[in-house]
Amino acid sequence: KQWVYRFGGGAAQGRAQDTALLGGKGANLAEMASLGLPVPPGMTITTEACLWYFSHGKCLPDEMKEQVLEALAEMERLTGRNFGAITKPLLLSVRSGARASMPGMMDTVLNLGLNDETVQALGHDAGDARFAWDSYRRFIQMYADVVMGLDHEVFEEILEDEKARLGHDYDTELSAVEWQHVVALYKQAIEEELGEAFPQDCHTQLWRAIAAVFSSWNNPRAVTYRTLHKIPQNWGTAVNVQAMVFGNLGSTSATGVAFTRNPSTGEKRLYGEFLVNAQGEDVVAGIRTPQSLTEEGRLASGSDKPSMEKLMPEAFAEFKAICEKLESHYGDMQDVEFTVERGKLWMLQTRAGKRTTRAAMKIAVDLVDEGVITEEQAICRIDPASLDQLLHPTIDPRVERVILGSGLPASPGAASGEIVFTAEDAVEAEAEGRKVVLVRIETSPEDIHGMHVAEAILTTRGGMTSHAAVVARGMGIPCVVGAGGLRVDLRNEVLIGPGFTLKRGELVTVDGSSGQLLKGEVPMVQPELSGDFGRLMAWADAARRMGVRTNADTPQDARAARSYGAEGIGLCRTEHMFFEGARIHVMREMILAENEAGRRAALDKLLPMQRSDFIELFTIMSGLPVTIRLLDPPLHEFLPKTQQEIEEVAAAMEMEPAQLSRRVEALHEFNPMLGHRGCRLAISYPEIAQMQARAIFEAAAAAAKETGAPVELEIMVPLVGLRSELDYVKACIDEVAADVSRETGLPIGYLAGTMIELPRAALRAHVIAETAEFFSFGTNDLTQTTFGISRDDAASFIPTYQRKGIIEQDPFISLDFDGVGELIGLAAERGRKTRADLKLGICGEHGGDPASIRFCEEVGLNYVSCSPFRVPIARLAAAQAAI
Sign of CA dihedral 826, 829, 833, 836: positive
What whole-number distance in Å separates Cα of residue 455 and Cα of residue 476?
A: 10
User: Beta 712-717 vs 751-756: how paired, if at all?
Assistant: parallel
Phi, psi (degrees; rounded to nearest 5) at 88: 40, 65
Q: Does 205 bind ligand ADP (CB under 6 A)?
A: no
Per-residue DSSP letters for 658-688? HHHHHHHHHT--SSGGGSS-THHHHHH-HHH
Spatial contact of 581 and 606, defined as CB atoms under 8 Å apart = no
Nearest to 232 by CA among 218, 215, 211: 218
Among 72, 1, 20, 13, smallest CA distance to 42 is for 72
Site string for ligand ADP, 345-374 (x = CB under 6 A): ---xx-------------------------
CA-to-CA dists, residue 853 to 74, 216, 473, 860, angstroms: 50, 35, 25, 10
Least distance between Mg ion and beta carbon 331 (Å): 21
Please say which residue, 280 or 482, places its beta carbon nearer to ligand ADP. Answer: 280
389 binds, among Mg ion, ligand ADP, none (CB under 5 to 8 A by kind): none
* Nearest partner of 430 among 457, 456, 454, judged by Cα: 454
Decide whether 292 or 349 has the Cβ nearer to ligand ADP.
349
Q: Evaluate whether 152 touches 269 at the Cβ level (below 8 Å).
A: no
**From CA 768, how far away is CA 782, in angstroms rounded?**
16
Footprint of ligand ADP on residues 637-666 (CB under 6 A)? none
Task: Annotate each residue in 249-278 with x if it binds Mg ion (CB under 5 A) or - if it does not, as one string.
Answer: ------------------------------
843 is catalytic: yes
Q: How many residues bind Mg ion (CB under 5 A)?
A: 5
Nearest distance in Å: CB 257, ligand ADP:
7
Least spacing, CB of residue 281 vs ligand ADP, in Å: 5
Query: Which residue number, 34 or 741, has a Cβ lying nearer to ligand ADP?
Result: 34
**Minimum gap (Å) between residue 878 Cβ and ligand ADP:** 35
What residues contact residue 420 under an 8 Å CB cut-off, 6+ apart? Answer: 426, 429, 436, 437, 438, 439, 450, 454, 504, 505
Q: In which region does residue 643 sit, left (phi positive, over 0), alpha (psi from -120 to 50) or beta (all else)?
A: alpha
**Distance of closest approach, residue 40 Cβ to ligand ADP, in angstroms:** 5
Q: Which residue stretch of 361-369, 650-658, 773-781, 819-827 sits at the interface with Mg ion (rule: CB under 5 A)?
A: 773-781
Q: Is 758:785 a contact under the CB 8 Å cutoff?
A: yes
Q: Candidates 67-75, 241-249, 429-437, 754-762 — which segment interacts with ligand ADP by CB under 6 A?
A: 241-249
Q: Which of 323, 572, 843, 866 is catalytic?
A: 843
Query: What's the closest the beta carbon of residue 91 comes to ligand ADP, in angstroms?
Result: 8
Nearer to Mg ion, 236 or 778 (CB): 778
CA 350 to chain centre: 22
Q: What is the DSSP letter of 442?
A: S
Site map for ligand ADP, 33-52, x if CB under 6 A?
-------x------------
Alpha helices in 17-86 (DSSP H): 19-34, 47-55, 62-79
User: Among residues 128 and 781, whose Cβ is nearest to Mg ion?
Assistant: 781
Handedness of CA 393, 397, 403, 406 (dihedral sign): positive
Contacts of 783-786 with C-beta under 8 Å, sequence gap 24+, read: 783/811, 783/812, 783/815, 783/816, 783/820, 783/844, 784/673, 784/812, 785/757, 785/758, 785/759, 786/759, 786/816, 786/819, 786/820, 786/823
CB-nearer residue toward Mg ion: 114 or 348: 348
Phi-psi region of 58 (alpha: psi -120 to 50; beta: other; left: phi over 0): left
User: In the range 258-277, which residues lie near ligand ADP by CB under 6 A?
Assistant: none
DSSP code at position 637 = G
Is 786 among the residues that bind ligand ADP (CB under 6 A)?
no
**Helix count (H) and strand count (E) of the chain?**
34, 34
The yes or no reply on residue 104 touching Mg ion (CB under 5 A) is no
User: Cβ distance 462 to 516 under 8 Å?
Assistant: no
Contact between 568 and ligand ADP by CB under 6 A: the answer reads: no
Question: Which residues from 680-739 bind ligand ADP, rule CB under 6 A?
Answer: none
Residue nearest to Mg ion (CB): 781
Is 242 a binder of ligand ADP (CB under 6 A)? yes
Q: Does 463 bind ligand ADP (CB under 6 A)?
A: no
Are the CB atoms for 810 and 802 separated by under 8 Å?
Answer: yes
From Mg ion, ligand ADP, none, which one binds at residue 242 (CB under 5 to 8 Å depending on kind)? ligand ADP
Pairing of strands 839-842, 774-777: parallel
Please name the amino acid found at residue 231: I
95 lies in the binding site for ligand ADP (CB under 6 A) = yes
Q: Which is closer to ligand ADP, CB of 104 or CB of 868?
A: 104
Pick one of 93, 111, 277, 349: the residue that binds Mg ion (CB under 5 A): 349
Task: Determine phi and psi for 231, rounding to 5 degrees.
Answer: -100, 130
Based on the shown chain and the rule CB under 6 A, indicate whether residue 213 belongs to the binding site for ligand ADP.
no
**Where are any strands of DSSP class E within 65-157?**
82-83, 89-90, 92-98, 108-112
Q: Is 467 a catalytic residue?
A: yes
The binder of 778, among ligand ADP, Mg ion, none, by C-beta within 5 to 8 A per type, is Mg ion
Q: Which of 162, 281, 616, 739 binds ligand ADP (CB under 6 A)?
A: 281
With binding defined as CB under 6 A, does residue 104 bind ligand ADP? Answer: yes
**Binding residue (CB under 6 A) for ligand ADP from 180, 215, 237, 339:** 339
Q: Which is nearer to ligand ADP, 255 or 459 (CB)?
A: 255
Compute CA 53 distance to the chain's CA centroid, rounded to the nearest angstrom.
Answer: 31
Cβ-closest position to ligand ADP: 95
447 vs 781 by CB, closer to Mg ion: 781
- Applying the rule CB under 6 A, the residues between 123 and 182 that interact with ligand ADP are none
Nearer to Mg ion, 67 or 248 (CB): 248
- Catalytic pick from 202, 392, 467, 732? 467
Indicate the helix (H) or strand (E) that contains 153: helix 153-166
Task: Work out whether 678 is an interface residue with ligand ADP (CB under 6 A).
Answer: no
Does position 26 interact with Mg ion (CB under 5 A)? The reply is no
Nearer Cβ to ligand ADP, position 213 or 768?
213
State the Rg of the chain over Cα.
Answer: 33
Q: How far is the CB of 265 from Mg ion (least distance, A)?
A: 23
DSSP character for 339? E
Beta bridge partners of 241: 43, 94
Among 482, 778, 847, 850, binds Mg ion (CB under 5 A): 778
Q: Which does 28 bind (CB under 5 to 8 A by kind): ligand ADP, Mg ion, none?
A: none
Stretch that binds ligand ADP, among 138-146, 238-246, 690-698, 717-725 (CB under 6 A): 238-246
Alpha-carbon distance of 748 to 712, in angstroms, equals 10
Query: Smallest gap, in angstroms, from Cβ of residue 349 to ligand ADP?
Result: 5
Span of 178-186, 240-248, 464-472, 556-564 interacting with ligand ADP by CB under 6 A: 240-248
Q: Is 463 helix (H, G, I), strand (E, B) or coil?
A: coil
Q: List binders of Mg ion among 730-759 (CB under 5 A).
A: 757
781 binds Mg ion (CB under 5 A): yes
Residue (106 or 711) nearer to ligand ADP, CB: 106
The answer to whether 445 contacts ligand ADP (rule: CB under 6 A) is no
Q: Does 93 bind ligand ADP (CB under 6 A)?
A: yes
Residues lying near ligand ADP in the complex (CB under 6 A) are found at 40, 93, 95, 104, 108, 110, 242-245, 255, 280-281, 337, 339, 348-349
By annotation, the residues acting in catalysis are 467, 843
Residues lying near Mg ion in the complex (CB under 5 A) are found at 337, 349, 757, 778, 781
